[in-house]
Amino acid sequence: MTHPSGTEPRPGRTDPHLSAIMSERRQLTNLAYRLLGSLADAEDVVQETYARWYAMAPQQQEAIGSPGAWLTTVASRICLDLLGSARARRERYVGEWIPEPLPDRTEWISGRPGAGIVDPVDRVTLDESVTMAFLVVLEAMTPAERVAFILHDVFRYSFPEVAEIVGRSPAACRQLASSARRRLRAPQPDSGTTTARHADVVRAFKQAWEANDIDALIGLLAPDATATGDGGGLVTAALHPVEGAEQVARFFADRPGAAPGMTLVERTVNGQPGLVAERDGVTVSVMAFDVTGDRIHHIWAVLNPEKLRAWATGSRTP
């Protein structure tokens, strides 16, 4: 029988740590997604982490006092290596790279093949540390900054614990986290906008876009608003961010939200109100918004179909 982690325990042996290590799976998925910005990569990291656990002899496993800490250390180090190589991959990426968007798990449809299995998206806790604005800022950090910051500030590991994981001194990890916080603070607008107000602004944007009302769109956008698309070279998307309220408004007006076969649906995107564009029932774009007060500062539109797996069968109209 296949082990829940996707690996095969060796025949004839029982695993005394089974319950302890499997209870860590959600934590590992949450950690890896925040570190990598990709659910697909996070799942791969978790699989590899469990594979390394089961590759050890029973005596080695039994010598580990805290399986959970071991799993976290291994997953974090795998992520650190991946973040290093990701920079080279991003240089070859066509256009802008945006983190993979996640739907709210209450909007994830059951009743499809395999519905009895817990979907990966169900294992990611949607809070302020997975908003698109937060994940995009994380992308500006060095791999070491990102790992130290996420482990300490989000998952509350002590700096000595972080140091053991990343192979640096506690003082160096403290500096890394401090540097990461400065990056995070610099571009962040005031986050006093309530979820309800955020939803109202996104709804107004949807209505203005559907009506092709450029003036209304401009009125909803901050003067320095930007819109960034991610097609990954697989579908058409702007290769560079569109900047300025009027330019962004005209960009969307040239791509009618009420085009034949196209439907705009209000959805939760990474824990915040967003929009999903569907064509003939298929999700073709997921849009996240950074809203401050009554104005939209950033729009991130993910069109790369490889990043829309979680939305492919999870979309529905209200």
pLDDT of residue 133 exceeding 60, the answer is yes
CATH number of 195-312: 3.10.450.50
| pLDDT score, position 48 | 97
pLDDT of residue 139 exceeding 80, the answer is yes
Residue 15, both tokens? 């695993």
Name the percent of the chain lying above pLDDT 90.
62
| pLDDT score, position 90 | 76
CATH architecture entry for 18-185: Up-down Bundle (1.20)
Render pLDDT for 180-226 as a digit per residue (tens, 0 to 9): 998 877 544 445 568 899 999 999 999 999 999 999 999 999 999 99
d(CA 43, CA 24): 13
- Is residue 98 within 8 A of residue 131, CB to CB? The reply is no
Strands 282-292 and 295-302: antiparallel
| pLDDT score, position 193 | 65
Q: The whole model's pTM is what?
A: 0.84
- Is residue 207 within 8 A of residue 215, CB to CB? The reply is no
Q: What is the DSSP letter of 142?
A: -
d(CA 175, CA 183): 13
d(CA 15, CA 173): 35
φ and ψ at residue 174, rounded to 5 degrees: -60, -40
Outline which parts of the chain fall under CATH 1.20.140.160.
18-185
Outline which parts of the chain fall under CATH 3.10.450.50.
195-312
d(CA 6, CA 282): 29
- Helical segments of 93-139, H only: 132-138
Residues 6 or more apart from 271 whose CB is under 8 A from it?
Answer: 104, 126, 127, 128, 130, 131
Selection from 144, 139, 231 nearest residue 187 by Cα: 139
Cα radius of gyration rounded to whole Å, the chain: 21
What would the mean pLDDT of 8-24 be, rounded to a whole number? 59
